[in-house]
Copies of this chain bind each other. A is one copy, B any other.
Amino acid sequence: MPRTVLEPRFQVEHLSILDSEGHLDAALEPTLEPGELRALWRAMLLGRRLDERMVRLQRQGRIGTFAPIKGQEASQIGSAATLRKTDWMVPSFRETAAMIMRGWPIEKLLLLFAGYLEGAEPAPDQHDLPITIPVATQLPHAVGLAYAAQYRGDDAVVMVFLGDGATSEGDFHEAMNFAGVWQVPVVFVCQNNQWAISVPLKKQTHSRTLAQKALAYGVPGLQVDGNDVLAVYAAAREAVDRARGGGGPTLIECITYRLGVHTTADDPTKYRSDEEVRAWERKDPLTRFRAYLEARGLGEPGLEATLDAEIAEAVRRFEATPPADPLAMFEHVHAEPPAHLRAQREDLARRLAARGAPSPADPGAAPPRATPMRGQRLTRR
């Protein structure tokens, strides 16, 4: 009767399979075909090369602010690789690698970051939401999608991404709680990259891990080495299979690191040390996976060049995209434009016509001005 310990007691596990020293836990190694392993590698490498290219495009003023992914390739690819095409992926704003893997054309993403909403339009058969900017607000959408899938009897699983900072938002809590109560097929993949802009994890929460936050919802939580694509894959596979089998939601915390800037408007030298970054560079997810593949005779020399060419081709297509009609802003506000929007559309059409030349000299399609996102100093990385 007195002070009794309630059951169940809780613990949080950490999963690591291929560590940064190259040690492999063969007992836990997922069974993946060579083709599957190569696909993972290809997607990770493409993510990395594209990311580096996009930073340059931004520095040249050819696209606007975006959030680079460097260092987080294994977390994104290991998890997204477990999805079927008919499953849903719900990104936050830092899942470029995963989005490309899910079939988003590179040029479309570039268009989005160049300031055109057209870049956020998923293809008709694509089961992906566009990126969501307000932190954590996409999480309940994923739970709703999962509810709907279950309601319709579809066997789709929903995977939703979030950052460490996102776990502080009320929407994280409400989404996790709804998912727990409803027992819907959704997998929360938290990329704990140690920072939310300048705020380190220890100022974000007093909890030892993010995985343990799942305990509050009676949901399984697992921590995984997020720079170990095999471990991420294994953890996500387990969670996705459980979700598809009716076992409900899971929270996966991927321990990883953002090697670059928060966004291209950020200067991380203000808040973190070079030593810290160098230490994490030694845990680079690409290095260890490349070594693993080479050891298994699955190396692909020359792949960088192939991917770079693919990217260059996509950049060309992006830059050849004719600036879309500014009048398009009036489409899709409602299914049918109401009277006041028709009148406003006419107003803009009149103004565009009066100013003569249609695009790109018109005010809508003017090339982006150079005003920076903020008074930033030059960033060092």
* Residues of A participating in the B interface, judged by any CB pair closer than 8 Å: 1-6, 8-17, 19, 23, 25, 27-28, 168-174, 177, 180-181, 183, 203-209, 212-213, 215-219, 223
CA distance A219 to B205 in the complex (A): 10
Contacts of A212 in B (CB 8 A): 10, 215-216
- Contact check, B13 vs A6: say whether CB atoms are below 8 A apart: yes
- Contact check, A206 vs B223: say whether CB atoms are below 8 A apart: no
A18 nearest in chain B by CB position: B1
Main secondary structure of the interface of A (DSSP, over half): mixed
Q: How far is the CB of A117 from chain B (nearest CB, A)?
A: 28
Contacts of A216 in B (CB 8 A): 207, 212-213, 215-216
CA distance A6 to B221 in the complex (A): 12
- Contact check, B208 vs A181: say whether CB atoms are below 8 A apart: no
- Contact check, A16 vs B1: say whether CB atoms are below 8 A apart: yes
CA distance A13 to B6 in the complex (A): 6
Cβ-neighbour of A170 out of B4, B12, B169 (below 8 A):
B169
Q: How far is the CB of A17 from chain B (nearest CB, A)?
A: 7
- Contact check, B207 vs A217: say whether CB atoms are below 8 A apart: yes
Given contacts A16-B1, A19-B1, contact A6 B180 (CB under 8 A): no
Contacts of A23 in B (CB 8 A): 1
Return the 4 tightest CB-CB contacts between A and B, nearest first: A170-B170, A180-B206, A173-B173, A206-B218
Contacts of A171 in B (CB 8 A): 170
- Contact check, B12 vs A5: say whether CB atoms are below 8 A apart: yes
Can you pick out 19 interface pairs between chain A and chain B where the beta carbons lie within 8 Å of each other?
A2-B16, A2-B27, A4-B16, A5-B11, A5-B12, A6-B208, A6-B209, A9-B11, A10-B10, A168-B177, A169-B174, A173-B173, A173-B174, A180-B205, A180-B207, A205-B218, A208-B218, A215-B216, A216-B216
- Contact check, A3 vs B10: say whether CB atoms are below 8 A apart: no
Contacts of A177 in B (CB 8 A): 168, 205-206
